[in-house]
Structure 1
């Protein structure tokens, strides 16, 4: 396993981990904000309740000369019960106790209250100390002599219920957020699995292509993946075309070498010149087929291409008559009048005419004829006919004979490649090969070639 594979993390895990981190962060902030808001609201509510109790004490307080008096028993029973957790205390300006509720009997923090400084007149303070929350307010009365008297009212309440409510809220808050987080993670997991399903489908289809069960990506993919799948299909198609082109090139090469080899088999030791010509022809064929193999697509004639048609026909006739000398067949060529050039690569012309004439030698009984003439409707085009006196081709055979690998006889040697190769080359020049019955009784192959000027 390489380092890239060792450190790879699945997209599902990556998305879930990212979602968990982001969810923890935002839900954590939300929980803290809700917790702070609840605590503040509870503190405000507690302060308001204690403030109301302070004013309840103030409402029953009376100043007799210089002494402040409150009833020993109050309407709110909790002030009268020792274990109620609600305590009322009044301190004077000297921080001495002016009045204490019945519930303060077990209160042990009186010294702490006395140690705090006096408030301003009308001042108030809310806070917590020990096991209590408290509210204190400072008030000033004018006594009989017109002097101001300061008194400080304290109401303290056991903080246990307050703390318990906050703890209960926090348990419910964080428990609820935890449950929501798990539910959201589960939903996120399901959504991720569903969202990444096309990628798993893509992987499955790629494995099918790798194992040879498919040749392209099939099925419908999301819009975001369509450019990728289209590009992959184009790449696969290009690779298949390249492989097919190499296969065809090797088959074409083998087919093209057959004629020179056949000629060489018929040569005697004394015919060294002809032997050298065929060796040169084989070398030329190899280079030509290799060049075709590395070309993606042919785009037709290239400016400046010229091929002497008659010279090619003479060269082919000489080679084929030697290859088929034992069969007593004659190649009838036009007389060499005016030199005529066609706007095609000479190697292409050799391949096309060589295969067509060789087929005439294979299937013709005694005569193979090549004729050509300028078309009257298109003066720049040359109509070429290759005829033989063989059995000809049926209508079905004419439709299928140009298919690569398709043969209609088992008498003559071959692989059904030659005519398909001819058709491929002519198609690159946008030239159509037509097959019909010829004047000699056999097949007629007709093609229109561009004339070079």
Structure 2
């Protein structure tokens, strides 16, 4: 049952147990009924046997006499499988006495060695009449008078009557248990689904947190689930405190480093031209690198936070509007699908990455820059990822140029302003969020910057 739902597991186990229990109950009850029916059948035959014994005697001629009336018409119907026989033994002469149903049926008695009499001087065995009925025979031998005249008494009952009665009872039993089992399974299913509904509510609450719609698990949960919800809320709160503490430390470090670097840059103005340029260039590079590593530390601190959520469309459209105002000679456009895509990252990190890429595209574009947002192809990225393509119609780069551009601090065009850290910063942001960054040839002939970022996984 690996990977199956808890509801399916509970339903499956409950159903299997119900089926096993009902089958066991059916077998036990049917066996108990069979045992009771067979005992009652044998007791009926013994009662008939006693009635026949009481109705038969020896007359003055030394012959069997009597007309047993057992009160059941089956003994008067030939081929019914119900018979009684009284056969003389020893010095008792004359013909036998038999029920009408016995006709000329002759049943050889088994030897006493093979089937001895019990302590009541009775024995039972099976026989078949002329009609093919399987009968259960009860036999005894009785002395009828003081002169030692004895006779063999036998009463037989049709076993098919017993088996038909047991079969009818078993059929009704199985049908009743089947209906009861189906009803029980339905009731169990409703009870289990109702009982596990709070888990579904907790799942939906977690989904709202992942989507950025809530800050904690809200709702009234049963006492079995309430501790779990409390622990999750405590974990979220602890995570939030860690992120805030990391942000505060990053801010303090950035503030403490900005002043010394700014002093170096200002002091470089009073130096000689050669030294001033060198100091200023190195200080600016150091400033950019410090900011980069501070951003990486901040991203690492908040990367796993379930509260880091950013709607992609507003950020992209806002950046494009700003860049269009700064570059009025270029045409900027967006192609966003889906419009409601939410990325699992901080908005300022998305803005920094996109800002670098759109700014670079604007530097080298001849007339047009387009920003596209699509789900990442499965072959290029795992499920749950989105890809942002920033394309321009500039001169573009060959494969060697793309590889060189990705190196930290490398500037392929010294005539354009910058430190050469933009693409490496984008790559580091993508890497910290378990995404990816690559350069490719654009359809318009320029450069296509492909940024792959994690999307918010929606609860199923």
Aligned pairs for 1:373-412 within 5 A? none
Cα deviation code 1:231-252 (max 9, x no counterpart): 2111111222222233333333
Which runs of structure 2 are paired with 1:1-400 in the superposition (5 Å)? Answer: 7-64=2-59, 67-72=62-67, 74=69, 76=71, 78=73, 79-93=75-89, 98-105=96-103, 107=105, 110-113=106-109, 119=117, 122-126=120-124, 128-130=126-128, 131-144=134-147, 148-267=148-267, 268-269=269-270
CA distance in 1, matches of 2:234, 2:6: 26
Contact 2:64/2:88 (CA < 8 Å) preserved in 1? no
- Is the contact made by 1:88 and 1:154 (CA closer than 8 Å) also made in structure 2? yes
- Name the CA distance, whole Å, in 2 between partners of 1:233 and 1:184: 38
Structure 2 stretches lacking a partner, 5+ long: 129-133, 302-460
1:253/1:111 Cα in 2 relative to 1: closer, same or farther (>3 Å)?
A: same
SS at match of 1:243: helix
- Residue pair 1:93, 1:151 contacting (<8 A) in 2 also: yes
Using the alignment, how far apart are the partners of 2:89 and 2:196 within structure 1? 76
- Are the structure 2 counterparts of residues 225 and 59 from structure 1 closer, same or farther at C-alpha, using a change threshold of 3 Å? same
The alpha-carbon deviation at position 100 of structure 1 amounts to 1.6
CA distance 1:83–1:257, shift in 2 (3 Å): same
1:221–1:38: structure 2 CA closer, same or farther, 3 Å change rule? same
Figure out how many residues of one structure are paired with residues of the other and give that number: 282
Unpaired runs of 5+ residues, structure 1, are 1-5, 297-453
Q: Is the 8 A contact 2:58 2:65 kept in 1?
A: no
1:220 aligned counterpart, secondary structure: coil
Partner of 1:342 in structure 2? none
Report Cα offsets for 1:218-266 as digits up to 9, x if no partner.
1122222222222211111122222223333333333333332443343
CA deviation profile, 1:415-440 (whole Å, cap 9, x unmatched):
xxxxxxxxxxxxxxxxxxxxxxxxxx
**Larger Cα-atom Rg:** 1
Aligned to 2:109, what secondary structure does the other structure show? Answer: helix
Query: 1:367-390: CA deviations, max 9, x gaps?
Result: xxxxxxxxxxxxxxxxxxxxxxxx
Shift of 1:139: 1.9
Task: Return closer, same or farther for 1:220/1:27 CA change in 2, 3 Å cut-off.
Answer: same
User: Separation in 2 of the partners of 1:63 and 1:236?
Assistant: 104
| Stretch deviating more after TM superposition (129-138 or 71-80) | 71-80
State the secondary structure of the residue aligned to 2:139.
strand
Change (3 A) 1:207 1:234: same
Q: Distance in 2 between matches of 1:140 and 1:243?
A: 108
Shift of 1:170: 0.2
The superposition leaves residues 121-177 of structure 1 with CA deviations (integer Å, 9 ceiling, x where unpaired) of 841234544522332233233443xxx344221111222222211111000111111
The aligned counterpart of 1:400 is none
State the TM-score, normalizing by the size of structure 1: 0.53
Q: What RMSD, in angstroms, separates the aligned Cα atoms of the two structures?
A: 4.0
Seen in structure 2, the aligned counterparts of structure 1 residues 134 and 93 have a Cα distance that, compared at 3 Å, is same
Residues 120 and 204 of structure 1: CA distance in aligned 2, closer, same or farther (over 3 Å): closer
Moved more, 258-267 or 35-44: 258-267
Question: Is the 8 Å Cα contact of residues 82 and 104 (structure 1) preserved in structure 2?
Answer: yes
Q: 1:128 to 1:9 in 2, by over 3 A?
A: farther
Q: CA deviation at 1:85?
A: 3.7
Determine the C-alpha separation between the residues in 2 that align with 1:104 and 1:197.
71
Distance 1:28 1:80 in 2: 42
Q: Is the 8 A contact 2:59 2:65 kept in 1?
A: no
